[in-house]
Structure 1
């Protein structure tokens, strides 16, 4: 067991999360390159695909932990590329609903299959309980920060 104070260990965890986040973006860029996407654009597709309801740019931003402005820039480019469409939102004049085109859905499904193999490879030497513990801790930290 470590004798370091909990706050120091927490700081080490945060620094490792930053490092892993950067590495995940690099790997995400590699996974998506053949489809003309980046990890950031893939995240937007995922936020839309995984939502049970129509989503707006601010909602995508909250889901991704990104600013509305950063998401809006990507959504605008992705719309020009034929991946997204914007439709009227009866609940808000300016915050339009963002939807994936058929082309984007097809790309997302192909990436999803690719991602499963990637995830299997990276998690092969970890137990299910280790993965569940890591997920529990990260969700707790996210909840604390969001509170």
Structure 2
């Protein structure tokens, strides 16, 4: 019987292979606007946020280095898709606000993305997709807890 770690490696491989398929299916939507993958991710994070996010918040949520998110946000601001606002809760971490142009672009891309997603998922049981989403969310939550515990152990080990 395989151990959890061995099965996990298979899961990571399947996610990577699936990611390649989804990238291929959705790439032209992103490229139509000349956005990099990270710029597209940051624009999505800003336009879909409940409250205006900061660069560090986006980086933590997506697992990207702050500097990578900062460069993408700067480029999006230069293109007029987002703008910076002062953050009353933090002197240096400014808030990212979508512009009307950024919202319109995201809404159009989201509509096209849904159309392509419908084509991509033809013949797949929606319940199977829903179970996979729920399972991956649960796995991610436990992995996050484990990463925090690993970081705490490393901090304790370095101080000892």
Q: So what's the TM-score if we normalise by structure 1?
A: 0.88
RMSD of aligned alpha carbons: 1.7
Residue 140 of structure 1 deviates from its aligned partner by 1.4
Residue 23 of structure 1 deviates from its aligned partner by 4.1
Q: Is contact 2:47–2:102 with CA below 8 Å preserved after alignment?
A: no
Residue 144 of structure 1 deviates from its aligned partner by 1.4
Q: Is contact 2:43–2:76 with CA below 8 Å preserved after alignment?
A: no
Residue 49 of structure 1 deviates from its aligned partner by 1.8
CA distance in 2, matches of 1:50, 1:43: 10
Q: Is contact 1:47–1:60 with CA below 8 Å preserved after alignment?
A: yes
**Distance change in 2, residues 1:70/1:25 (3 Å):** farther
Q: Is contact 2:26–2:116 with CA below 8 Å preserved after alignment?
A: no
Greater shift after overlay, 91-100 or 59-68?
Answer: 59-68
Deviations along 1:9-68, one digit per CA (max 9) or x if unpaired, are 221011121233344344443221222223322211211122111110011112222111
Q: Is contact 2:25–2:116 with CA below 8 Å preserved after alignment?
A: no
Secondary structure at the aligned position of 2:92 is classed as strand
Rg larger for: 2
Residue 98 of structure 1 deviates from its aligned partner by 0.5
**Distance change in 2, residues 1:64/1:100 (3 Å):** same
37, 40, 57: which one aligns with 1:42: 40
Where in structure 2 are the equivalents of 1:22-37 lying within 5 Å? 22-37=20-35
CA distance in 1, matches of 2:58, 2:136: 20
Deviations along 1:83-134, one digit per CA (max 9) or x if unpaired, are 1110100100000000111111111011011000111111111112210111
Give the structure 1 partner of residue 64 of structure 2: 66
CA distance in 1, matches of 2:25, 2:41: 13
Question: Aligned residues, how many?
Answer: 145
Higher relative contact order (CA 8 A, sep 6+): 2
Secondary structure at the aligned position of 1:35 is classed as coil
